[in-house]
Amino acid sequence: MHALETVVNAVNGILWNNILIYLLVGVGIFFTFRLKFIQVRGFFSGMKMFFSGVSLKGEKAGKNGMSSFQAVATAIAGQVGTGNLAGPATAIILGGPGALFWIWVSSFLGMATIYAEAILAIHFKTKDRNGQVVGGPAYYIERGLGMKWLAVLFAVLIIMALGLIGNMVQSNSIVEAFSNSFNTPTWLMGLILASVTGLVIMGGIKNIAAVVEKLIPLMALFYLLGVVVILTINSAYLWDACRVIFVAAFDPEAVLGAGAGIAIQQAARFGIARGLFSNEAGMGSTPHAHAVAKDTAPEQQAFLAMMGVFIVCTIVTLTGFVIITSALKDWAALGNVVGQGNFLSIYQVKGIAVTQQAYQSVFGAFGGYFVSIALLCFAFSTIVGWYYYAETNVRYLFGSEVAIRIFQMMVVACIFIAAFFKVDLVWDMADMFNGLMVLPNILALILLSTIVVKITKAAQKK
């Protein structure tokens, strides 16, 4: 296990400290200017389309695809997971409160990137040998660039990154949360989660669309209610939270002290890494859902794709403020002053346990229960969404229902096994595979950017 940790950390060091931060920010800036700030110009249109399409009981999805709202709900299902509850905690503890600022930066730029992904996914979508509508980076890489080898590489990486390792992160966080709050045996929670997942994913696209279109609106409202209550109670520390976020983004020692050992590079590294893990812009995952939206113009679905990033960023931000304000409150209760030590040191835990501790500081034991239940909803929706993305690529590689069934069994097994993994290793492995799958997708986005601009201009002339 130690050897695996060493390899994973070495790869992450190369990817996240030297390549991906600049690449993801760079491509976001590239599309922001090339599309003339599409995330600003198309924001209100996207919001209007999103809320007008909200439904808890839409038409059934099938081989011809799903409704526009089901498509964006499936995309958000993949985006709204542990990255929204455990992700901010990990980023803030390792990168300081300034990491939240870099999550905002990556999300703003990511809205332009994900717009381009959705445009290409719809433009190059097709039907597989069984007549099912499919689309995503593997398809626009092969059909748009003619690079079959690169498409295959992406397909393999996303199957590992999301379908297997990524879903292990979701499972691991759920199991840890329920163990912390309810003392649920890890093996039992892992078994329950694996069993329920198996029932849903084996029902195919119809079951997946039906689950996410109901789960997403309800779980968002549930979590928002809890956040509003806790931030109202912590309202006296909201201004201090805003201050430490912006100061720590550029001068961590000013609010955490030199002993914290956190640098600007760390804040940016963990902020952007967790930003990617939560909003998935540039990663090549959400295009699989947007590609199968029925009777929707490419630019309209692309606007909805941007809303997914915005909604996810909002949830991440609220979670981050809960963590920071709770830490400030508890730090002050000990007679300390911000700027005279690392106020985040009150968290002696990692991962989802940080978020649970923040809620418990206000709600007591109920706070831990609340986070556990919220995480169960969020992470389960992500497991379902990520499975669908990976399945699309299994279809791309093999086109066989037998292969799909074998893959389903592998996913269920990984979800159960993840219950017994160390949380740090699982997150680090997810970072590694997420980073690797970004590379072929970003290359395709840049090389096909002319098509994105052409389709956008044509839509604006209508």
Give the side-chain half-sphere CA count within 13 A for 405.
Answer: 3
For residues 444 and 149, the answer to whether their CB atoms sit within 8 Å is no
Query: Under 8 Å CB-to-CB from 398, ≥6 apart: which residues?
Result: none
User: Of 17, 82, 84, which Cα lies nearest the Cα of 268?
Assistant: 17
Tokens of 185: 């045996």
CA 124 to chain centre: 24
Per-residue pLDDT, 139: 94
C-alpha dihedral, 113 to 115 to 120 to 122, nearest 10°: 150
What is each CA distance from 311 to 135, 221, 275, 278, in whole angstroms? 23, 12, 12, 10
Strand 126-127 and strand 133-134: the pairing is antiparallel
Picking from 361, 393, 434, the residue whose alpha carbon sits closest to that of residue 155 is 393
pLDDT at position 32 is 96
Query: Nearest CA to 145 among 137, 156, 134?
Result: 137
For residue 272, the domain's CATH number is 1.20.1740
**Tens-digit pLDDT profile for residues 129-147:** 777 788 999 999 999 999 9
Q: Name the β-bridge partners of 134.
A: 126
Instruction: Read off the tokens for 39.
Output: 């995330």
Domain annotation covers residue 341: yes
- Closest by CA position to 156, among listed 384, 409, 383, 394: 394
Q: Give me the domain span that covers residue 158.
A: 1-53+62-454
Is residue 439 assigned to a domain?
A: yes
**Tokens 């002053």 identify what position?**
337
The β-bridge partners of 66 are 293
Identify the pLDDT of residue 61. Answer: 47
**Res 277: pLDDT:** 66
Give the tens place of pLDDT for each residue, 361-413: 888 888 888 888 887 887 887 888 888 889 989 989 988 888 999 999 999 99
Let me know if residue 459 belongs to a domain. no
| Residues across the chain | 462
State how far Cα 167 lies from the chain centre.
12
3-state secondary structure of 65: strand
* Cα separations in angstroms, 92 against 258, 270, 274, 342, 350: 16, 8, 10, 12, 11
pTM, two decimals, is 0.86
Q: How far apart are CA 438 and CA 336, in angstroms?
A: 43
What is residue 62's three-state secondary structure? Answer: strand
Classify residue 461: in a domain, yes or no: no
Contact indicator for 12, 94 with CB cutoff of 8 Å: no
Tens-digit pLDDT profile for residues 276-290? 767 888 889 888 888
The verdict on residue 274 lying in a domain is yes
Cα 341 to Cα 152, 259, 334, distances in angstroms: 50, 8, 12
Flag whether 460 is in a domain.
Answer: no
Specify if 193 maps to a domain. yes
* pLDDT, averaged in runs of 10, over the chain (462 residues): 80 81 89 95 86 57 57 68 76 87 92 95 85 88 95 94 86 82 85 87 65 66 86 93 90 72 76 76 87 78 90 90 92 80 81 84 86 81 85 89 91 89 73 88 95 90 68
> Which candidate, 159, 158, 123, places its Cα nearest to that of 140?
123
Domain count, the chain: 1
Q: Do residues 374 and 226 lie in contact, with contact meaning Cβ atoms separated by under 8 Å?
A: yes
Q: What is the pLDDT of residue 211?
A: 60
